[in-house]
Amino acid sequence: MIIVAAISLLYETGYLSRVQVAISLLYETGPLSRVLAAISLLYETGLLSRVLAALSLLYETGLLSRVLAALSLLYETGLLSRVLAAISLLYEMGPLSRVLVAISLLYETGLLSRVLVAISLLYETGLLSRVLVAISLLYETGLLSRVLAAISLLYETGPL
């Protein structure tokens, strides 16, 4: 029933062809059951339209395969619900495209797992909104790569 409603919504909004490509890729790579569970959760929490907009942007910018790998990792580590809350907040605040660029950079440099730990801690302590503002400022001023190096060093030396 949930999948039928989702397919109907996708067809009406014109996302069906993009989603068909994504589903085909998911089926070939194996994480289809995980994605179905995520879609069910999204539909129940009302975040489906926001996630469809994000998927459309990801598909157009070529980041879809990286994000699918990240979602698989998130689902396995149990951080998916927290990340969905963070994505919802990002979508409402507007800096989603900047965060997608940051996620892509993190995935390529291997810092993604460390950042997931940091995001989980930030979400639990309520500092997430401040960090989003800081990330936006860092991205605009070009200091993001330096800060990532600093975070990596802090994480490796212990005082993170």
The domain total for the chain is: 1
Tens digit of pLDDT for each residue in 118-148? 665 565 666 665 666 566 556 556 666 666 6
Helix (H) or strand (E) holding 82: helix 80-93
Rounded distance between C-alpha atoms, residue 53 and residue 122, angstroms: 25
Residues of the chain with pLDDT under 70: 1-160
Whether 103 contacts 112, CB under 8 Å: yes
- Cα R_g (the chain), whole angstroms: 16
45-61 residue pLDDT tens: 666 666 666 666 566 66
The residue written with tokens 């109907």 in the block is 8
Instruction: List the domain range (segments joined by +) for residue 68.
Output: 2-157
Residue 106: exposure state from Cβ atoms within 10 A (0-12, 13-18, ≥19):
buried
